[in-house]
Chains A and B, each alone.
Chain A
Amino acid sequence: MALFGFEKDTLLDLTVNVIPLGIILFFIAAFAVVPAFGTDPVFTGMQFALMISMFLLLAVLTYYAGRAIEGAEQEQESLEEASAVNEPEGEVTGLEDGDDAEAELDDASADGDDE
């Protein structure tokens, strides 16, 4: 299963944010179906804008955080596989650099000593 390209474990972790997303979605639907206070272009617009923007922002952030963490995890796994005895990184495996998934987020881990 690869929903949005995530592994099953990561998806399971992400459910924690699916619940608030669901609650917001519920209210969006409820307010759309039962507009208890009538509708008005400006205020109804703002009402839904608030909920929808929160929904989208949370969804996007969750997606990217999941990506970053999963990427870093796979990285680590492949490192561990490559060095069965877990010797210091890079000595035998030569893998310590050029890890692109991490490099995207953390292009500086290697150049902290550029003074």
Chain B
Amino acid sequence: MAAGDLVLTGLMAVLLVGIAALLTRIENWRSYTPLAGGGTATGETVVHREKPAGIVRWLTTVDHKDIGLLYGVYAVIAFAVGGIMAMLIRLQLVTPGGALLGANAYNSILTSHGITMLFLFGTPIIAAFANYFIPLLIGADDMAFPRINAIAFWLLPPAALLIWAGFFLAPVTENMIEPAQTAWTMYTPLSVEQTNPGVDLMLLGLHLSGVAATMGAINFIATVFTERAEEVTWANLDIFSWTILTQSALILFAFPLLGSAIVMLLLDRNLATTFFAVEGGGPLLWQHLFWFFGHPEVYILVLPPMGLVSLILPKFAGRKLFGFKFVVYSTLAIGVLSFGVWAHHMFSTGMDPRLRASFMAVSLAIAIPSAVKTFNWITTMWNGRLRLTSPMLFCIGFISNFIIGGVTGVFLAAIPVDLVLHDTYYVVGHFHYIVMGAIGFAAFAGIYYWFPVFTGRMYQRTLGKAHFWLSMIGTNVTFFAMLALGYLGMPRRYATYQFDGAIAPLAQVQTYHLLATVGAVLLFVGQLIFVWNVVQSWLEGPKVEDGDPWDLERDGMLDREFQWFDRKLETAVTDGGEDEEQSALTGARSDD
């Protein structure tokens, strides 16, 4: 029977590949180049028409820089929402009985925290950098499909509203529609059996965000392949573009699968199909589909941040990135292998042990390309002329946190270890070292590094450093405590932990929970400083007059985006005219 299924699957695959091949023969997709791109062959950005003023500009823009800023603002708002949810979770767990929330409220907030941070903060903040800087870095006039770019962004606000819908609707519908309580993994049968319509809304929102991510990915692939300036070749393409290219390929294969799985789940919930029912496909089918998306998703989130660090770190080490090609090839390796490890999230489900062993093998193999990068970053700093600016501090913090996150990941990839630690706080510690300690840190590094470019101003350095140290200490206190909690056997996703002291040392567990909360408070204060710093500096910071604010010329490391910035400053000075390309606030203030 199983063999028959396999044969059918194989035939289906052959059929699909055949169709794809056929389509590539009859369609000349290059002919769809949109007219909206604008620009000339000189590689300079040219704005054809003046942008409308005020809010209309932001609603109608197809300029990649504007869209990048929109993504950035969106992501920071989502980060704030997800962060407040995280604080609620941490405050709740200060006492074993739960300090603030009922079990349902806790589950709702936990679910939304995960989904918000991964899909509404993580993916968009990366898209923010990619939109703003990829065209500048590769010397393109704009993205290949500017309007698709705009649509992809504008799908996200409705996605967020749907994902959070339960929170808005519960009070007005007398809890008929509640926030989803499925956890971000939406495991069946739980997610099928919860009749709450809020789950359907959340699923639709998630689907929408997947559509947006896929459109963005297609756009980036097309842009990097076809819009590069003539002198940008595969040999000198910058590292951030490489990681975005790989990430986009991963999105292209992973997100449509999530979308299909979500549709199947919606059908199971609403039309009584049996995709994930015991008598149908079985509950494990969901886990396989979800993690076939889910593991690539974690690399979708971490590859571009690795690219950011690989781009920024050398600038403040005064040395070229050590082993640039190593980083490129290992990025590609991660891209491929990440599709062959998904069942390491399912080691304890009772799947066939032979199959399980092969997933372990590939999971151990994928650790190598990640480790290679770490050594490259360290070697880049070796004997370098380090300048500990805020972006550099965050890059170094990234490396440190990524090492802990990566090493704990390798432990989890070993089946015997995982059987002990699965579904404990150890796993939570592992992935937060990466999603907060690495991805978050790289995002901060990028924001500080390019702050002069997109605001025309400088941030406040002391506040930047305070932000770094609070984040670094906060991250390590919080998530190291979680690793310890995992060793003590504390299961994840519990609203309370009033267990029998004979099972595990309750007093110690409580202490570590308390520590984790203290760390979270430090983190939270750090982020308040960050928001203050960004907003205040954007409005009132000293104007940057030098096109090379980081003094990169000296090491010959002034990349295209800063050259573009320099040209922009110069033209603004010499002809004294209106600069249409001014970023949001500067533009609004000086021109209107």
Report which A residues bind B (CB closer than 8 A): 13-14, 16-17, 19-21, 23-24, 27-28, 31, 35-37, 39-48, 50-51, 53-54, 57-58, 61-62, 65-66, 68-69, 71-73, 75-76, 89, 96, 102, 105-110, 112-115
Is the pair A20, B366 in contact by a Cβ cutoff of 8 Å?
Answer: yes
Question: Given the complex of chains A and B, what is the CA–CA distance between A37 and B358 in angstroms?
Answer: 12
Contacting residue for A17 out of B37, B354, B369, CB 8 A: B369
Is A69 a contact of B362 with CB atoms below 8 Å? no
Tell me if B39 is interfacial: C-beta within 8 Å of chain A: yes
B225 with A105: CB separation less than 8 A: yes
Q: Which of B296-304, B331-339, B420-428, B498-506 contacts A (4 or more CB under 8 A)?
A: B331-339
CB pair B353–A37 under 8 Å, yes or no, is yes
**Seed contacts A36-B357, A54-B339; 5 additional CB < 8 Å A-B pairs:** A20-B368, A31-B354, A61-B335, A65-B332, A112-B227
Is the C-beta of B586 less than 8 angstroms from some C-beta in chain A? no
B358 x A76 contact (CB < 8 A): no
Residue interface mask B208-230, A partner, CB < 8 A = 1: 00000000000000000111111
Of B37, B140, B354, most A-chain CB atoms within 10 Å: B354
Asked whether A105 and B234 contact (CB < 8 A) given A23-B361, A47-B358, A115-B33, the answer is yes
CA distance A41 to B354 in the complex (A): 11
How far does the alpha carbon of A13 sit from the alpha carbon of B576 in the complex, in Å? 49
Nearest residue (CB) in B for A53 is B340
Measured between alpha carbons, how far is A96 from B368 in the docked complex, in Å? Answer: 39
B55 within 8 A of A: no
**A residues less than 8 Å from B40 (CB atoms):** 113
| A43 CB contacts on chain B under 8 angstroms | 352, 354-355
Complex Cα distance A75/B352, Å? 50
Counting from the closest, the 6 A-B pairs by CB-CB distance are: A27-B361, A108-B226, A72-B235, A72-B233, A13-B325, A20-B365
Bound CA span A27–B30, Å: 43
User: Is A51 within 8 A of B235, CB to CB?
Assistant: no
Query: Does A20 lie within 8 Å of B337, measured CB to CB?
Result: yes
Contact in complex: A89, B235 (CB < 8 Å):
no
Other-chain contact of A76, B140, B233, B333, B364 (Cβ < 8 Å):
B233
Given A16-B372, A102-B234, do A40 and B354 touch, yes or no (CB 8 Å)?
yes
CA distance A20 to B410 in the complex (A): 14
What is the chain A residue whose CB lies nearest that of B353? A37
Interface residues of B, CB < 8 Å — how many?
Answer: 52
Q: B355 near A46 (CB under 8 angstroms)?
A: yes
Residue B41 is within 8 A (CB to CB) of chain A in the complex: yes
Smallest distance from the beta carbon of A114 to chain B beta carbons, Å?
6
Contact B234 A68 (CB under 8 A): yes
Q: Are B226 and A57 in contact (CB under 8 A)?
A: no
Q: Of all chain A residues, which has the CB nearest B6?
A: A42
Contact A62 B361 (CB under 8 A): no
Q: How far is the CB of B40 from chain A (nearest CB, A)?
A: 6
Q: Mark contacts of B323-363 with chain A using CB atoms, 8 A cut-off: 1 yes-contact digit, 0 otherwise.
A: 10110111011011101100000000000111101110110
Q: Does B3 belong to the interface (CB within 8 Å)?
A: yes
Q: Given that A40-B354, A47-B354, A112-B141 are known contacts, is A16 also in contact with B365, CB under 8 Å in the complex?
A: no
Do B325 and A69 have beta carbons less than 8 Å apart?
yes
Chain B residues, CB < 8 A from A115: 33, 35, 37-38
- CB-CB under 8 A from B336, the residues of chain A are 54, 57-58, 61
| A107 / chain B contacts, CB cutoff of 8 Å | 30, 226
Contacts of B20 in A (CB 8 A): none
Known: A24-B361, A65-B329. A109 touches B369 (CB 8 A): no
Query: A17 near B329 (CB under 8 angstroms)?
Result: yes
Least Cβ–Cβ distance between B362 and chain A, in angstroms? 5
B358 near A17: Cβ-Cβ < 8 Å = no
Q: Give CA–CA (A36, B352) in the complex, Å.
A: 12
B329 near A42 with CB under 8 A, answer no
The answer to whether residues A72 and B234 also contact, given A17-B329, A23-B361, A24-B361 and a CB cut-off of 8 A, is: yes
- B590 interfacial by beta-carbon distance below 8 Å: no
Residues 19-50 of chain B, each 1 if its beta carbon lies under 8 Å from chain A, else 0 = 00000000000100101011111000000000
Contact partner, A89, options B2, B230, B355, B364, Cβ 8 Å:
B230
Q: How far is B328's CA from A112's CA once the two chains are assembled, in angstroms? A: 26
Known: A45-B6, A53-B340. Is A13-B361 also a contact (CB below 8 A)?
no
Contacts A51-B361, A76-B235, A115-B37 given; indicate if A62 touches B333 (C-beta within 8 A): yes
With both beta carbons as reference points, the residue of chain B lying nearest to A52 in the complex is identified as B358
The one of A23, A35, A106 that contacts B226, using a Cβ cutoff of 8 Å = A106
- Contact status B230-A110, CB under 8 Å: yes
Q: B334 CB to closest chain A CB, in angstroms?
A: 9
Do B228 and A24 touch (CB < 8 A)? no
Residues of B contacting A31 in the complex (Cβ-Cβ under 8 angstroms): 354, 357-358, 361
Contact A106:B235 (CB < 8 A) given known A19-B368, A24-B361, A54-B337:
no
Cα–Cα distance between A115 and B35 once the two chains are bound (Å) = 6
Q: How far is the CA of A106 from the CA of B241 in the complex (A)?
A: 15
Which residues of chain B are near A108, meaning CB under 8 Å?
30, 225-227
